Amino acid sequence: MHLLVCGGTGCNASKSQEIAENLKSTLTDKGLGNEVQVILTGCFGFCEKGPIVKIMPDNTFYTEVKPEDVADIIEEHVIKGRKVTRLLYTDPENKQHVADSKHMGFYKKQLRIALRNCGFIDPQNIEEYVGADGYSALAKCLGEMTPEQVINEIKLSGLRGRGGGGFPTGLKWEIASKNHADQKYVVCNADEGDPGAFMDRSILEGDPHSVLEAMTINGYAIGATKGLIYIRAEYPLAINRLLTAIGQAREYGLLGKDILGSGFEFDIELRYGAGAFVCGEETALIHSMEGQRGEPTFKPPFPAQSGYNKKPTNVNNVETYANIPIIINKGANWFNKIGTEKSKGTKVFALAGQINNVGLIEVPMGITLREIIYEIGGGIKGGREFKAAQTGGPSGGCLTSAHLDTPIDYDNLIAAGSMMGSGGMVVMDETSCMVAIAKFYLEFTVEESCGKCTPCRVGNKRLHEILEKITKGNGTMEDLDNLRNLSRVIKDTALCGLGQTSPNPVISTIENFYDEYVEHIKDKKCRAGVCKSLMQYVIDPVQCVGCTACARNCPVNAIQGEKKMTHVINTELCIKCGACIEKCKFNAISIC
């Protein structure tokens, strides 16, 4: 028998270490030390109900265990084989105790559809993919369905584009299928560029065949025989695995002429991008593939009318494609029962920031932020307070504690002033400065703007400059008005999605954290202690013993004071390097 004790940061803070030691010593006392083992594990993710102790092999899941519960667990469960009912998890819906963790709703918080094979199969081995039901969706399409039926199935599934915009995938396919041409193209957008988002890379590295299969289905549905994957060159491993997968698919006859004896022909090639964020925008992506400057053009014409080489082209994102084979295999009516009314299925998020379990998660649409943070992400680091979650990357905005219980889907996120984006989710606590966050994202958009349209080329630069001014303590209330007007105009006038969404981080932080902006401007204060220019180093005269250590180590001689007398920092000279704090043995120096 094994007793698994959660050793995650959250549970650790609530004495899981002590529980583990108690368990061990009690077991030794009872002479069970050799038969029953106590194991510390990584975070279960369910920190709201921690500390957690799981008993194997019967999968009993005890929550909110206290050190004093150890005796009961060993007496009752280990020795007598009776579950300690009061420690069992209570299902919030039916108020029943759940004895076996396999039946806990908590395990249903994450549902892996797009990531179904990631971490299970060997991505370099087509046979493992076939063994996991791979290419059976393609076989079903080619053998049993007409292109119209395939499109209808995707439409019925309610699948929306996972690249950020959320355009209905089936509708996109239908438009492309209705534009007739001698040649059409299917393009997979693997130009993942949101800072911190890497779900597409993970899918391509972990399950490349699912994307190839889906693209082939897409080709069959719209009448295209050529597929292109636009992938950034800084994804060498993903490129490698894709090339291997394409080679295998060709060898097995799953790409090429007469696929599965159906007469349908389809092949896929890679196109490499240089990593420009704007090339994730589909018209810019197409120009880049054509060897043109990677900049967007206005729509219409849409790629479905005139795309790659002026031919009808359907562009979908990697994660969107990864969903396709399952929808075909299990049916649209299975898929459209997952998620919310207008957002079906699951979404993969790259969970990052001040959260215990940084990771790649896949959750059904409609899950709340609270569930993601506290039941999957293991809560905020150090048990601190949640402040905001940034979704949608540089195009998104911040969700606050007011949104903790809002079901997450495309439309709710937009209503909350953010967006789904490609699935970056950065969790922030009180150590994050919201003005600095807005500045960070603007810095990114300024860097990544193609420079074609005025609002994005010059406007974002100006937004960034004003934010810089505010974080330096030189902002005025007029700057705040300018930020708002400029943001509104850029949103309203920019040419492509990048420009139209780039002010979102500014708008949403002003909206939700107006006080912080005002503090920076009026009080010259950054409550998170992030904006260096607004911080001051001060020596507490009570704590200071006049040891001179700080003065001797100050690189700019900003600290004065006689030996054994209180020292003082000249704030005009101070460069805020922090050397003095490090050297002070009496905790006399603080930042305020």
Partner 1 sequence: MEMINITIDNKPVQAEKGQTILKAARKAGIEIPTLCYYELDGIKLENRPGGCRVCIVEVEGRKNLAPACATEVMEGMVIHTHSLRVVNSRRTVVELILSDHPADCLVCPKSGKCELQTLAQRLGIREIPYQGAQSTYRKDMSPAIIRDIDKCIMCRRCETVCNEWQTVGALSAVNRGFEAVVAPAFEQDLEKSPCTYCGQCLMACPVGALSEVDQTRQVITAISDPKKTVVVQTAPAVRVALGEEFGMEPGTIVTGKLAAALRKIGFDYIFDTDFAADLTIMEEGTELLNRISRFTQGDKTVKLPILTSCCPGWVNFFEVNYPDMLDVPSTAKSPQQMFGAVAKNYWANQLGIKREDMVVVSIMPCVAKKFECQRDEFKVDGNPDVDFALTTRELAELIRQFNIDFEALPLEDFDKPLGESTGAGVIFGATGGVIEAATRTAYELFTGKKLEKVDFNELRGLEGVRSATVDFNGTPINIGIAHGLSNARQLLDDVRAGKTNFHAIEVMACPGGCIGGAGQPFHHGDFDIIRKRHAAIYREDAGKPIRKSHENPYIQALYKDWLGEPCGEISHHLLHTHYFDKSKHIEIEG
Partner 2 sequence: MTKIKSLADLKAMKQSIQEKIDTRAKGNAEGLVQVKVAMATCGIAAGAKQVMDYMMAETDKRGMNVVFTQTGCMGYCHAEPTIEVTLSGKEPIVFGFVDLKKADEIIDKYIKDGELVDGIIPVNYETINK
Residue span 541-580 as binding mask against partner 2, x where in contact by CB under 8 A, dash where not? ----------------------------------------
Dihedral pair phi/psi, residue 397, rounded to 5°? -145, -170
Interactions with partner 1, residue window 500-529 (CB under 8 A): 500
CA distance 75 to 491: 65
The interface partner of residue 582, options being partner 2, partner 1, none and the CB cut-off 5 to 8 Å by kind, is none
User: Taking the complex as a whole, how short is the minimal distance between the CB of residue 198 and partner 1, in angstroms?
Assistant: 23
The interface partner of residue 168, options being partner 1, partner 2, none and the CB cut-off 5 to 8 Å by kind, is none
What residues contact residue 356 under an 8 Å CB cut-off, 6+ apart? Answer: 8, 9, 10, 43, 47, 377, 378, 379, 380, 381
- Which amino acid is it at 153? E
Token code pair at residue 23: 């368990």
Cβ proximity of 215 and 321 under 8 Å: yes
Q: Is 201 in the site for partner 2 (CB under 8 A)?
A: yes
Interactions with partner 1, residue window 57-96 (CB under 8 A): none
Segment contacting partner 1 (CB under 8 A): 137-145, 332-340, 394-402, 441-449?
Answer: 441-449
**β-bridge mates for residue 268, sequence order:** 227
Cβ proximity of 51 and 16 under 8 Å: yes
The interface partner of residue 458, options being partner 2, partner 1, none and the CB cut-off 5 to 8 Å by kind, is partner 1
CA distance 404 to 454: 37
Burial class (CB in 10 A: 0-12, 13-18, 19+), 338: middle
User: Taking the complex as a whole, how short is the minimal distance between the CB of residue 485 and partner 1, in angstroms?
Assistant: 7
The interface partner of residue 107, options being partner 1, partner 2, none and the CB cut-off 5 to 8 Å by kind, is partner 2
Residue span 329-358 as binding mask against partner 2, x where in contact by CB under 8 A, dash where not? xx-------------------------xxx
CA distance 266 to 219: 7
CA distance 57 to 277: 48
Token code pair at residue 201: 């890379």
Cβ proximity of 542 and 526 under 8 Å: no
Q: What angle do CA 233, 238, 241 make, to 5 degrees?
A: 125
The interface partner of residue 40, options being partner 2, partner 1, none and the CB cut-off 5 to 8 Å by kind, is partner 2
Considering only 159, 446, 470, 569, the residue that binds partner 1 (CB under 8 A) is: 446
The interface partner of residue 447, options being partner 1, partner 2, none and the CB cut-off 5 to 8 Å by kind, is partner 1
**β-bridge mates for residue 160, sequence order:** 168
Token code pair at residue 480: 């705040």
Considering only 66, 85, 86, 107, the residue that binds partner 2 (CB under 8 A) is: 107
Cβ proximity of 328 and 141 under 8 Å: yes
Interactions with partner 1, residue window 168-227 (CB under 8 A): none
Which CB sits closer to partner 2, 1 or 565? 1
Segment contacting partner 1 (CB under 8 A): 80-88, 432-440, 456-464, 529-537?
Answer: 456-464
Interactions with partner 2, residue window 134-173 (CB under 8 A): 135-136, 139, 143
Segment contacting partner 1 (CB under 8 A): 31-39, 451-459, 503-511, 561-569?
Answer: 451-459
CA distance 374 to 91: 16
The interface partner of residue 495, options being partner 1, partner 2, none and the CB cut-off 5 to 8 Å by kind, is partner 1
Residues that bind partner 1 (CB under 8 A): 276, 293, 295, 297-298, 300, 446-462, 465, 482, 485-486, 489, 491-495, 500
